[in-house]
A and B are shown apart, each in its own frame.
Chain A
Amino acid sequence: MFEFSAFSLYDAAFLAIGGVTILGALGVVLFRNIIYSALSLVFTMLGVAAIYFQLNAGFLGAIQILVYAGAISVLIIFAVMLLMDKDARRTNLPTPRTKAWFAGGTITMMMLASIIAAVGFTEWPKTALQGVDNSVGMLAELMLGDYVIAFEAAAILLLVAVIGAIILAKGVENR
């Protein structure tokens, strides 16, 4: 099932990065203080960036750090600070219902077990990892070439999201 014989430094690095990513994600959900949750989100984003770097996708990794770990998480923290009107230690409380915990936990475990089994028992097609000389150029060609329709649609999607955020955040007019 799993090959432990060929365990290399590369794999060890991956496990460490993956561990940080997952712990960060767990932190987002489990911390009771939403500021801590936002900060652990930064760790998850950095972990994902590190995975990109490990896969030789340096440009994507850099973008991930700049946009997500940098800009977006700072925005989230700003928004939280501006909107927070109660004690910070009680801003992200878990649901008190044990039934919900039980149901959610069961589904998560079943899902996790079946995915691990599926991935573990699969013979994955192996391709040698090869660096790309000009990954930025390649990305640009794909985005504005074959995937230009998805690219343009994504632009409209972002516009819709911005308009929606304004409409919903503006709320009901006070009269």
Chain B
Amino acid sequence: MDISLLLTEIMVALLGLLVLVLGLALPARGKTVVNRFALLGMIAILAYSITAFSQKASFFNGVYQIDMFGSYFKLLFLSAGILVMLMAGKYISRFEEKSSEFYGLMILATLGMMLMSSAGEFITLYVGLELMTISFYILTAYLQNDKLSAEAGLKYLILGAVSSAILLFGISLVYAMTGTTMFTEIAAAFTMQPALLAGVVLIIAGFAFKISVVPFHMWTPDIYQGAPIPITTYLSVGSKAAGFAALVRVFMVAINGADASFDWSMLLAILAALTIIIGNLIALSQKDVKRLLAYSSIAQAGYILVGVVAANSFGLKGVLFYAMIYVFANTGAFAVATAVEVDTGKTGIEAFAGLSKRSPMLAAIMTICMLSLAGIPPMAGFAGKFYLFAGAVQNGYLWLAVIGLIMSMVSVYYYLGVSKAMYIGENENDSPVLTTGGSTVALWICVLATILLGVYPGPLSELAGYAIQILM
């Protein structure tokens, strides 16, 4: 057992704690230094985790797994965290003297996500999940002058606690039947007993809440709208990807691998279909860009779930690939929304009117990111959806792929609705929307990644291919 293999996690934990301590120790003027330090620290850890990508080890008889699947998601969480920190830029000034705690809590939430993606058994998984969600409860309610933010924090706390209870109840039923919390041992002891089925259903419901799958999606719009936008972004790309990482590992190792006499894929397929249809249809009628992106993120979770349903190499590769490009496309869209909200104080579609004349770059980036979310070639979203739906077709879920395709067409309407406002709409205010250096960098990274990965998806898809080998 070589502790140095855990270096990524250890460094993230130390960075988070150090940022919290420095934020207290330094005088108010020093806060910006702490914020820079947090960002640079995350970038350094990302660089290290790239070099550590192919490490492989199993700690404590399989309680904690260091493998490429986990490494891939660690790259994803770190990139998402860095982009969110960059784009938060000016928004941070709203937190006044609490800004360094904001960074500290974000880093510790990232640690929770990492534990979720690498846990080889349920207790570690659950602690990681709670570390992530409890950080998010606090961050959601961070805008204390804003009633919506406080309400969102309270709602997230109550609903999140209920979903944790459901997940724990499921885990305890599975433990009662199999006598273990280890994924591999659960697969070996899997029997078709009602209590075990109920346990697995409850576990799936618990994860479905985290990745906001219909019918467990009710919390998403309110909380996405109320939370500070950087946190909304991190919730939608980070927390969701962590939920998928854990779901894929649990599903592939513990549940699906064991006994094929119960068709779990069908259960997930129904959830995926409902999520895609309802998410897209409700998004059509949204007038607020934050809420629109919330419903769009519900629909996106449905697309990714299609890959889990397929559970073959194409589908799983699609899950990992799509989760990564979703980080860039969604963060790009939210970064533009952040810039507009900082400038106008509003997030309704009317606030985006005439943006192409005020800031042509921002309007172009928003459009590109939205086209990627809709899956229009040559953006990255097209390549991602291709993998997901090809996997589903390969595994005999043609109907699911058809639903996904049709609803992707429908989604173009509301994504382009925002573009229409930006390019055709009129706005009496024609001064450019200002962005800080950090958010400009984040915007460029997002838009370049979205285009490059669409034109040349090879390397990332190869990486995703290596990462899923452990599950095949």
Binding site for B on A (CB under 8 A): 114-115, 117-119, 121-125, 127, 145-150, 152-154, 156-157, 159-161, 163-164, 167-168, 171-173
Contact = CB atoms under 8 A, between A and B. Distances in A.
Contact of A163 (B20, B61, B97, B115): B20
Contacts of B104: 163
Given A118-B195, A125-B177, A160 B60 contact: no
Given A117-B194, A122-B177, A160-B131, A147 B144 contact: no
Interface in B179-224: 179, 193-198
Interface stretch (B121-129, B319-327, B332-340): B121-129
A157 B134 contact: yes
B111 A156 contact: yes
Interface residues of B, number: 47
B347 to A, nearest CB: 22
19 contacts: A119-B195, A122-B194, A124-B195, A147-B63, A149-B6, A149-B63, A149-B124, A150-B124, A150-B127, A153-B111, A153-B124, A157-B127, A157-B131, A159-B20, A163-B104, A163-B105, A168-B141, A168-B153, A173-B96
Contacts of A150: 63, 123-124, 126-127
B90 interface: no
Given A150-B124, A156-B13, 7 more contacts: A115-B198, A119-B195, A127-B179, A149-B124, A156-B108, A164-B134, A173-B97
A167 B98 contact: yes
A117 B197 CA distance: 12
Interface of B: 6, 9, 13, 16-17, 20, 59-61, 63-64, 96-98, 101, 104-105, 108, 111-112, 115, 123-124, 126-128, 130-131, 134-135, 137-138, 141-142, 144-145, 153, 173, 176-177, 179, 193-198
A160 B134 contact: yes
B60 A121 contact: no
Contacts of A167: 98, 101, 138, 142
Nearest to B60: A146
A163 B101 contact: yes
Main SS of the interface on chain B? helix
A148 B59 CA distance: 10
A14 B134 CA distance: 34
Nearest to A157: B131
A149 B12 CA distance: 14
> DSSP class of A's interface residues: helix, strand, loop or mixed?
helix
Contacts of B137: 164
Contacts, number: 99
Given A160-B108, A163-B20, A153 B115 contact: yes
Contacts of A118: 173, 194-195, 197-198
A121 B177 CA distance: 13
Contacts of B153: 168
B244 to A, nearest CB: 20
Contact of B60 (A122, A145, A173): A145
Contact of A153 (B128, B138, B141, B144): B128
A153 B134 contact: no
Contacts of A123: 193
Contacts of B141: 168
Contact of B135 (A127, A152, A160): A160
A160 B128 CA distance: 13
A149 B115 contact: yes
B127 A154 contact: yes
B60 A148 contact: yes
Nearest to A153: B127
Contact of A147 (B101, B123, B195, B197): B123
A124 B176 contact: yes
Nearest to B131: A157
A149 to B, nearest CB: 5
A171 B124 CA distance: 33
B63 A160 contact: no
B131 A156 contact: yes
A118 B173 CA distance: 10
Contacts of A173: 96-97
A103 to B, nearest CB: 12
Nearest to B10: A152
Given A156-B108, A157-B127, A122 B96 contact: no
B166 to A, nearest CB: 9
Contact of B105 (A149, A164, A172): A164
